[in-house]
Amino acid sequence: MCGFVGLFEFKESLEFARARALDMAKTIRHRGPDWSGVYVNDRAVLAHERLSIVDIDHGAQPLIDSSARRVLAVNGEIYNHLALRQELKRTHPWTTNSDCEIILYLYDEYGPAVCKMLSGIFAFALFDERQNEFFIARDHLGIVPLYIGWGIDGTSYVASEMKALDDVCETIQEFPPGHYYTSRDRQFVKWYDPEWAHTVPARKVSLPALRAALDSAVKQQLMCDVPYGVLISGGLDSSLIAAIVAQHRFKRIETGEVEEAWWPRLHSFSVGLEGAPDMQYARKVAAHIGTVHHEIIFTIEEGLDALKDVIRHLETFDVTSIRAATPMYLMARRIKSMGIKMVLSGEGADEVFGGYLYFHMAPTAEEFHQETVRKLFALSKYDCCRANKATAAWGVETRVPFLDKDFLDYAMSIDPADKMCPGKRIEKYILREAFRDLLPEDVLWRQKEQFSDGVGYNWIDCLKQQAAQTVTDEMLAQAADRFPKQTPTSKEGYLYRMIFDSIFKNPTACLTVPVGPSIACSSPAAFRWSQEFTKMDDPSGRAVKGIHVCAIDAI
């Protein structure tokens, strides 16, 4: 994972703009500790911080199309870059074997349609020297972060993380996922608008097709020239991804699985408090699939000590995200210390298949599907933000195959009735059935456990206790006076907002963070499903009473 910043149409001198861009880039250097690059023009400056994953020797950025005179800075991975070369109709001045260079030449031939052609995770800024125009785009669900801002003098800024914009912009906002923005039109254009987002699909599930689609997504995301690993929480989702990776670890994906893998020993990682429920299951999965397994044990004190750093890196005060990101942040540091630069994880399965426990209460297939769609398009502010930034803080890239664009096209086109939980059927039943032979039975049929719960229940309990000791009842009652925008609704949320505001001073920074009851129960649809939701302000899975730790006949 990399990071970049861009300045366009600035009014200051070129020397000032270049110096400002370099200062901004330093704030996100953790995302790309391997190399720095900068491009300057009297209308644009692009600065890039590189984490080298593909074409380590020649993939430095910004990338330049010397023929068309366009310059590109990218944060992301284009998994189908080799296949896309066949879509080019003209000869182009290739200078690297980087997966990202294809964007320059696809844009040269297809313009903004390039976004729909890419299979991957990406955010990029492209500057056209001849036209003095810029083009900015972000991947389909916002798996990779991106922010845009404007200065009081009219300068346009873009950056991989908000912290780079905090003290230079008058206004800041999250760059919307699945959109692009051009200097010519000055508006966000939605390029990702799948049919399943607007209709209730009727196609019945094919378990072999479901299995093939996920296997394909995992396989293409193994494109990598550096040592990689897998995260295993001990739950179904990450365990499935790890098991599929283990099947492909012996051959290089880049060569069509012809050449031997450079690093055939697959390392896996889990994190938790001493005695955490997830750890024993993760250990069992690792033994089953044959990984070199590493358990990262953290203490409550270490987690509390890291809170401010976690909020600075995540750029949020969302309770769910911070609870889960803190163990992930601590784990990522250990992963990087072992020489691993990329990991695959299981984010997204719960959104695609309705895996959160409150989905048991969905009254109709239509409402079930609408809720999965809502949650998928909110991920950039929650799970994608957490998975990307918590690991990028230490220069580690996280890939999420469940959110692969092609996999979504199949999985989200399944009749939602096939995904529902009638009677006592366990959540994500069809996913479990499709991979019935791949995992130990007690892992395959293990009930959903939210990551922030599974790392040890004491973790959340201590966070609540810390908040209760810091935030009084009177402070919470007057929260709207202190925080008139995005007002926190709990003491824990109040604590995180205090820390956030001590770091980010721009008055519009808080507007990038949604507030209110937990995203697991903030939908009007979910409120209709059960009166219980109207009373909830705790995003823990344990709060869904009657479902968590209940006797579900899974099989």
- Token pair, residue 342, equals 């990329």
3-state class (DSSP) for residue 75: strand
Contacts of 469 (CB under 8 A, 6+ apart): none
- Asked whether the beta carbons of 134 and 183 are under 8 A apart, the reply is yes
Which is nearest to 32 in space by CA: 177, 163, 166, 160? 160
CA distance 422 to 429: 10
Question: Distance between CA atoms of 540 and 317, rounded to whole angstroms?
Answer: 16
Q: Write the CA distances from 437 to 165, 247, 440, integer angstroms.
A: 49, 13, 8
Whole-angstrom CA distances from 493 to 49, 379, 425, 497 are: 32, 19, 34, 6
Catalytic residue among 2, 169, 384, 421: 2
Residue 382 CA, chain-centre distance (Å), reads 8
Q: In 3-state terms, what secondary structure has residue 2? A: coil
- Measured CA to CA, the distance from residue 143 to residue 337 in angstroms comes to 24
Q: Please give the Cα distance from 325 to 451 (Å, whole number).
A: 9
For 493, phi then psi, to 5°, come to -65, -35
| Integer Rg of the chain from CA | 23
Asked whether residue 271 is marked as a ligand-binding residue, the answer is yes
CA distance 327 to 278: 12
CB–CB of 258/220 below 8 Å?
Answer: no
- Supply φ then ψ for residue 75, to 5 degrees: -120, 110
3-state secondary structure of 332: helix
Which residues, other chains included, contact 182 with Cβ-Cβ below 8 Å and sequence gap of 6+?
112, 133, 134, 135, 136, 189
Q: Is 343 annotated as a binding residue?
A: no
Q: Which residue type, as a one-letter code, is found at position 313?
A: H
Tell me the DSSP string of 246-311.
HHHTTB-GGGTS-SBPS--SPEEEEEESTT-HHHHHHHHHHHHHT-EEEEEE--HHHHHHHHHHHH
Is 119 annotated as belonging to a binding site? no
Let me know if 2 is a catalytic residue: yes
Structure-token match 């609540």, residue found: 464
Question: What does the alpha-carbon distance between residue 293 and residue 514 come to, in Å, rounded to a whole number?
Answer: 36
Q: Would the annotation count 345 as a binding residue?
A: yes
CB 283 within 8 A of CB 481: no
Place of tokens 């953290």: 298
Query: What is 170-209 written as a DSSP string?
Result: SEEEEPPTTEEEETTT-SEEE----GGGTS---BPP-HHH
Binding site for L-glutamine, by residue number, is 99
For the annotated catalytic residues, the residue numbers are: 2
Binding site, by residue number, is 99, 231, 271, 345-346
Binding site for ATP, by residue number, is 231, 271, 345-346
